[in-house]
């Protein structure tokens, strides 16, 4: 999957998916009492408001042509944790909303592929498969408990305060943790994504 047409569809789906991901963070924060994202004009499907040069273009191009898959992110939607309801779980709920949005998209399109695959031509099947696969990658990747990924906010909300120094350390050196994961542990999540893809769609690799 490295031809220009496949890349065009993949980058378009990625942009749509990361926008929905970030939008979900913003709406979750607003539901918990924080209007920061709305005041910043980020509660919109307009991708221009969300795109990030590195995460939305450079990283996707690199991963697509070197690794055969596509990964990326958008600019984080701002929120003020001190405005959130939900006590110490407020940031975790906001963080969890992003991956859950991607899982929801993967389920909807995955079930469409599972139950109506015979009614689609090959091109449509390929596009729907990309939607499912990309959203599963985004969900699984973002749930990894490494800052600044969503999984870290969930983890830090669950940890007792006596482990606060762990949070400070990981947030200070997050770039090293991310690079270590990308170079040495990335292959761990690929089998998980393949398993979830087959579970939702009934289509194996």
Residues carrying an active site annotation? 22
User: Three-class SS string for the chain?
Assistant: CCCHHHHHHHHHHHHHHHHHHHHHHHHHHHHCCCCHHHHCCCCCCCHHHCCCHHHHHHHHHHHHHHHCCCCCCCCCCCCCHHHCCCHHHHHHHHHHHHHHHHHHHHHHHHHHHHHHHHHCCHHHHHHHHHHHHHHHHHHHHHCCCCCCCHHHHHHHHHCCHHHHHHHHHHHHCHHHHHHHHHHHHHHHHHHHHHHHHHHHHCCCC
Tokens 């969900």, residue? 139
- At 185, phi and psi to the nearest 5? -120, 0
């Amino acid at each position: 999957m490295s031809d220009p047409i496949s890349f065009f569809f993949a980058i378009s789906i990625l942009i749509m998916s990361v926008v929905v991901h970030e939008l979900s963070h913003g709406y979750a924060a607003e539901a918990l009492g924080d209007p920061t994202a709305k005041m910043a004009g980020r509660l919109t499907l307009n991708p221009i408001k969300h795109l990030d040069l590195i995460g939305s273009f450079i990283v996707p191009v690199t991963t697509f042509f070197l690794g055969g898959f596509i990964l990326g992110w958008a600019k984080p939607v701002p929120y003020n944790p001190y405005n959130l309801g939900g006590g110490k779980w407020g940031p975790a709920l906001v963080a969890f909303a992003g991956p859950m949005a991607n899982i929801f998209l993967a389920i909807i399109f995955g079930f469409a592929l599972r139950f109506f695959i015979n009614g689609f031509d090959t091109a449509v099947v390929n596009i729907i498969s990309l939607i499912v696969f990309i959203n599963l990658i985004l969900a699984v990747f973002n749930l990894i408990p490494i800052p600044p990924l969503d999984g870290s906010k969930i983890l830090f909300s669950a940890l007792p305060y006596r482990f606060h120094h762990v949070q400070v350390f990981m947030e200070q050196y997050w770039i090293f943790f991310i690079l270590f994961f990308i170079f040495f542990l990335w292959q761990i999540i690929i089998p998980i994504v393949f398993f979830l893809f087959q579970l939702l769609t009934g289509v194996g690799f």
